[in-house]
């Protein structure tokens, strides 16, 4: 069982997503299957609605009728997930589960990856990606929670603040 857990998409009856998630979590807890079925999520987005001149934030399902499950696929885990009330099957050809790719998981923001920031305000960094690739600049502000860094770059004889993602810069040696 050295196989890594992968994310799979499970199709459910519309409106049953949260019920499927809680039922599956209860089954995993009761059966002590944490090693096989590691995580269950209903992707949500926060939307600002304006109604009667009032603005409010509302959480909406990103993909109604679908639940994401991180699991090690085998006969036991497949059977458990497939037989949860409200589940109609896995997404894939002829109901054969197909895991999401790393790019799809990243695009869905399902897994949060911890980013270690070894930068400090005042450090000189090299921009590694984007239109300013190769430029050097001084770190002015770091926002690790937003994955952003503001760098002062000298362009055309002027210091210009540029906001970049943390992955787009590296400390200049």
In the prediction, which pLDDT does 111 show? 59
Looking at the whole model, is its pTM more than 0.95?
A: no
**What are phi and psi for residue 83, nearest 5 degrees?**
-100, 15
| 159 contacts 108 by C-beta, under 8 angstroms | no
All structural domains of the chain, each given as residue ranges with its CATH number in brackets, are 6-108 (3.30.70.940), 124-171 (2.30.30.30)
CA 91 to each of CA 47, 97, 108, 119: distance values in angstroms, whole numbers, following the listed order: 27, 6, 16, 42
The pairs formed by 32-36 with CB atoms below 8 angstroms and a separation of 24 or more are 33/76, 33/77, 33/80, 35/1, 35/72, 36/71, 36/72, 36/74, 36/76, 36/77, 36/80
- Structural tokens at position 127: 């921009």
Look up tokens 């599956």; give the residue: 24
Largest CA distance in the chain: 66
C-alpha span between 29 and 106 (Å, rounded): 27
Tell me the Cα Rg of the chain: 22
In the prediction, which pLDDT does 110 show? 66
Look up tokens 């810069």; give the residue: 169
Exposure letters 104-132 (e unless 16+ CB within 10 A, then b) = ebeebeeeeeeeeeebeeebebbbeeeeb
Low-confidence ranges of the chain (pLDDT < 70): 1-2, 95, 110-117
């Amino acid at each position: 069982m050295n196989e890594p857990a992968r994310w799979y998409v499970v199709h459910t009856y519309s409106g049953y997503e949260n019920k499927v998630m809680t039922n599956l979590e209860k089954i995993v807890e009761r059966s002590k299957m944490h090693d096989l079925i590691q995580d269950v999520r209903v992707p949500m987005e926060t939307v600002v609605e304006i109604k009667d001149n009032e603005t409010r934030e509302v959480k909406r399902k990103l993909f109604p009728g679908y639940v994401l499950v991180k699991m090690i696929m085998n006969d036991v885990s497949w059977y458990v997930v497939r037989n949860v009330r409200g589940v109609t099957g896995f997404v894939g050809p002829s109901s054969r589960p197909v895991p999401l790719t790393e790019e799809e998981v990243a695009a869905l923001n399902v897994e949060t990856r911890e980013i270690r920031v070894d930068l400090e305000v005042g450090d000189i960094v090299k921009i590694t990606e984007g239109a300013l690739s190769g430029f050097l600049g001084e770190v002015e502000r770091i926002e690790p929670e937003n994955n952003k860094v503001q760098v002062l770059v000298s362009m055309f004889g002027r210091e210009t603040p540029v906001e970049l993602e943390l992955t787009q810069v590296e400390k200049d040696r």
